[in-house]
A and B are shown apart, each in its own frame.
Chain A
Amino acid sequence: MDRSKALGHIVLVSILLVLILPFLVLIIWSFSQGWASNALLPNEFGLRGWRYLFSQQSRMLSSLGMSILISLVVTGFGMILSIPAGKALGLYIFPGKRLIELLVLAPTIIPTIAVGMGIQIAFIRYGLADTLLGVILVHLPLVLPYGIRIFASIYKALGTKWEDQAKILKANGWQRFWFTSLPFLYPGMISAGVLMFNVSFSQYFLTYLIGGGKIMTLPILLFPFVNSGDRVMASGLSLIFILSSLILMLIIERVITDSEEKTNVYYL
């Protein structure tokens, strides 16, 4: 038994190492000033990267703001669209349900490259290319499958009994939703919110193709640095990326939840 316990510790510790160690390297790189080709550690530490990133020219702060704005709007609309859709798929049986279930999954199956390259011309035509609205509109379908699946399974588990009860009490549609369904949806809203937010927050290809370089988000800012190999900049920007994403995840959890029991239904 001891042996398996020790083995267990080894497994957990190595998982943690694999997850955490890369970040240490990232932090060291972001503070390095010169790093000789054979040295294990930088020969000089400095703030070149951080100073540039927090200067006006780097546009880091404005891109971060743009990223947060886009992802929050996408998450908000994603939520509004996927709760009723989830309800329909979770509670009702209707002709064409199978097909619709498949359609809803489509954005997780068909790669975004095919859709992005195909739709670019239409977006240019209708003046949606290079605009905030255009970027939000291409992000939106990507997040819907996650929301719809989560809410569908919650409604399925919930059934209609609570709403029926409320109907007997003569509550109208909104009241029924607000007071009976919504409390059950909270845990799903956290998971869906966090997932939707991150899908939008880390999207590079569609933002680049539709935003045309004019809608500057963090991934758009980061990509050339990773590509051109300025590792100091790339590391600093990556850390800002991860940190802001984690903080916003926490905020989303705090904003939505007020119940003590958090059920995590991230992947249903």
Chain B
Amino acid sequence: MSYSVKREKEDRPVKKLLRILLTLSVLLTGCASNSSVPTPGQVQNNPLDKEWTTILSEAKGTTVNFYMWGGDERTNTWVDAVVASSMLKEYGVKVNRVPMGPDEYLNKLIGEKQANKQEGSIDLVWINGENFRTARQANLLWGPFADKVPNYQNYVDKTAPDIANDFGFPVEGYEVPYGKAQFVFASDTTKVKNPPKSSAELLEWLKKHPGRFTYPELPDFTGSVFVRQLMYELCGGYQAFPYTEQVNKATLNKQLQPLWDYLGAAKGYLWRQGKTYPSSIAALHQLFADGEVDITMSYNPAIFSGMIEQGLLPNSVRTNLWNNGTIGNTHFLAIPFNAANKNGALALADFMLSPEAQLSKYEPKNWGDLISLDVNKLDPQSLKDLEGINPGIATLSTEELQTHRLPEISAAYIPVIEELWKEQVIQSGQ
């Protein structure tokens, strides 16, 4: 008791100094300033109240800042060449691709929210999963806008579970589906005759080929899905992880014990004995291309056909699934709460959901991303065009992918699994 009183007294001069610094910081950050309080014009200008034709005519001549991860040359080129030129031609809107991934742009939006900045720099983002959940919970997104987008109304199966929910989290019109992805493994058929097709086969293969396999360290997107893939096999499938908003770390840890046992048993047979992991999926692909590992993986089932075409990988690389299926997901487009050009963002989102854009995106030489539209709603010509597209030498057929697709679990699990992985796999073994 007396101790705490004494402490408080000692703290006083320190506190005084802190108050002074605080005042200084208020001056610097201008927390009391009203420089960015919205003007009446901005508030009234809500596109949700307007006709679609008005939105388009107001969007004409503007620039849309589209924030997306920028590490893939083909995706970048597709957006810059195909999307940007069509948008300019068809909508009169300029598209400015900004290469920035979700971690960073969410952080930026949080900063803008903190500074009460009403006219932000981001108009449209490429997003899904736990990032969408974070953004929704922190009120970083504008909407619901999906029903305003004509191509969403015309071509999307709104009630499909993988469209209405994003990693189990209800979409509620705050994002529109941009494309679909499914987890695949890849290996060079000249080196790996029978690639493992289950967690048990993988462990067996590892024991025969020590040091020839690894996965990206979490929280890398692909590394994270690989661990969930194992988790599905070892801990009772996705059914064992029902939708939830609150995850109890200790309970989940107990539930995941078979996973930790497996990873513990596998560790010594991984690349560099599992003492370190490639920092990103790109680093793993590089190890694969350099011949340091024999198997790689991706959340984009067509990426390897593209890499073969570019000469980055030999012709003999093929993809495969696991017998019990692999995880698939949908990725989306969303508009930030303070997007300065919401009209333009809506126009771009509409174009992205058009059969024209979706088919072009599906071309393996462009990107190879699976389409997010309902095939039954396509007009006959688009359907014919779709069937005419060759998915690429190393890509599995759409039927095979579809019949092996497993849903994602709810986003709330993911940060907790990533944290547990760090504790159980990385820190405990040091």
Contacts and interface: CB of A to CB of B under 8 A. Distances in A.
A126 B81 contact: no
B73 A52 contact: yes
Given A214-B65, A230-B73, A124 B111 contact: yes
- Chain A CB within 10 Å, residue with most, of B76, B80, B111, B291: B111
A122 B73 contact: no
B290 to A, nearest CB: 5
Contact of A48 (B108, B291, B311): B311
A229 B71 CA distance: 8
B157 interface: no
Nearest to B27: A122
Contact of A57 (B81, B285, B289, B314): B81
B115 A121 contact: yes
Contacts of B29: 121-122, 125
A260 interface: no
Contacts of A52: 73, 77
A98 B73 CA distance: 52
A227 B311 contact: no
Contacts of A120: 111
A172 interface: no
9 contacts: A33-B311, A52-B73, A124-B117, A125-B29, A212-B100, A227-B71, A227-B282, A228-B71, A229-B286
Nearest to B30: A125
Q: How large is the interface on A (under 10, 10 to 19, 20 to 34, 35 or more residues)?
A: 20 to 34
A36 B115 contact: no
Contacts of B265: none
Interface of B: 28-31, 33, 35-36, 65, 67, 70-73, 76-77, 80-81, 96, 98-100, 104-105, 108, 111-112, 114-117, 121, 280, 282-283, 285-286, 289-292, 310-312, 314
B359 to A, nearest CB: 20
Interface in A60-88: none
Contacts of B311: 33-34, 44, 46, 48
B282 to A, nearest CB: 4
Contact of A124 (B73, B76, B115, B312): B115
A112 B283 CA distance: 26
Contacts of B67: 213
B310 A48 contact: yes
Nearest to A230: B73
B280 A127 contact: no
Nearest to B289: A37
Contacts of A57: 76-77, 80-81
Contacts of A231: 286
Interface string A195-231: 0000000000000000011100000100011011111
Given A212-B121, A213-B100, A126 B76 contact: no
Contacts of B111: 120-121, 124, 129
A229 B112 contact: no
Contacts of A230: 71, 73, 282, 312
Given A46-B311, A121-B115, A213-B99, A224 B71 contact: yes
Contact of B35 (A121, A126, A229): A126
Contacts of B312: 34, 230
Contacts of B314: 34, 36
Closest 3 CB pairs of A and B: A37-B291, A228-B71, A34-B311
Given A122-B28, A126-B35, A229 B117 contact: no
B233 to A, nearest CB: 29
Contact of A130 (B80, B81, B114, B121): B121
